[in-house]
Amino acid sequence: MTETLGIQTVLHPVEDVEKATAVYAALLGIKPQVESAYYVGFDAAGQHIGLVPKGPQSPDSVTAYWHVADIEAKLAEVKEAGASVKDSPRDVGEGRLVATFTDLDGNVLGLIQDPEK
């Protein structure tokens, strides 16, 4: 069984990225480290909080992403335990892989594998 590196990323789908950025900046007490029309990211207290515009590529709801060293191995393990793959691993830039799966109750969970440095 492979270990996880913990939940380090939480993505929030939002209707209006600009307006949501102001709310999350007030909540977290910091400005975003990454800011674009398609993604805004805050690094706060060891966590990455991301805002993504609602759409076909965004999660359906707030999704916690567990960081893993081997995304394929972890997906195989959760599938064997009864989970269902929702979105297979895909590269979202610079070698970062993301995938989602649903647990037995339909909750969506995410996985992230960062490239080796």
The CATH number given to whatever domain includes residue 34 is 3.10.180.10
The CB density around residue 63, as the number of other CB atoms within 10 Å, is 21
Question: Which pLDDT does position 55 carry in this prediction?
Answer: 82
Question: Which pLDDT does position 1 carry in this prediction?
Answer: 87
Counting Cα atoms < 13 Å in the Cβ hemisphere of 83 gives 21
Whether the pLDDT of residue 117 is over 80: the answer is no
Domain that residue 30 falls in: 4-113
Whether the pLDDT of residue 8 is over 80: the answer is yes
Q: What's the total number of domains in the chain?
A: 1
State the pTM of this model: 0.84
**CA distances (Å), 56 to each of 44, 95, 113, 117, in order?**
27, 21, 22, 31
Going by DSSP bridges, is the β-strand pair 63-68/4-14 parallel, antiparallel, or unpaired?
antiparallel
Whether the pLDDT of residue 17 is over 90: the answer is yes
pLDDT band at 42 (very low <50, low <70, confident <90, very high): very high
Better pLDDT: 55 or 106: 106
Segment 67-85, tens digit of pLDDT: 999 999 999 999 999 999 9
